Amino acid sequence: MKNNRYGFTLLEIMIVVAIIGLLAAIALPSMMKARLTSQQNACINNLRQIESGKEQWALEARKNNGDAIVTTEVDLFMKKPPVCPAGGTYTYGVVGTAPACSTTGHVF
């Protein structure tokens, strides 16, 4: 009698699961780093847009360096008010200074 068995043994399935787990363990840290880098780049781009909006507002409102900013008026010079992708908050500062983000590492 011929005994034809088809399928995988428990050992083969365990080896495949172990290989998949190993690949996931290798890939996850680099994916987390890529996520943090993309959030930082998006935040820096938002800071550039804020600076551009501040400059345009200051030019139109005839403000000088050191004058206070009205954030609601500056936001009108952008498509929408910027939001930090990492959950931080933006401080616009005064005319002539760079805006800042409350998240560490997000520097313009």
d(CA 96, CA 108): 13
**Cα–Cα distance list, 108 to 40, 43, 84, 95 (Å):** 10, 9, 13, 15
Nearest to 72 by CA among 57, 59, 86: 57
pTM: 0.75
The pLDDT value recorded for residue 4 is 67
Reading the chain (108 residues) residue by residue, the pLDDT tens digits are 566 677 788 999 999 999 999 999 999 999 999 999 999 999 999 999 999 999 999 999 999 999 999 999 999 998 888 999 989 999 999 999 999 999 888 887
| Residue 46 near residue 78, CB atoms below 8 Å | no
Spell out where the chain has E strands: 90-91, 100-101
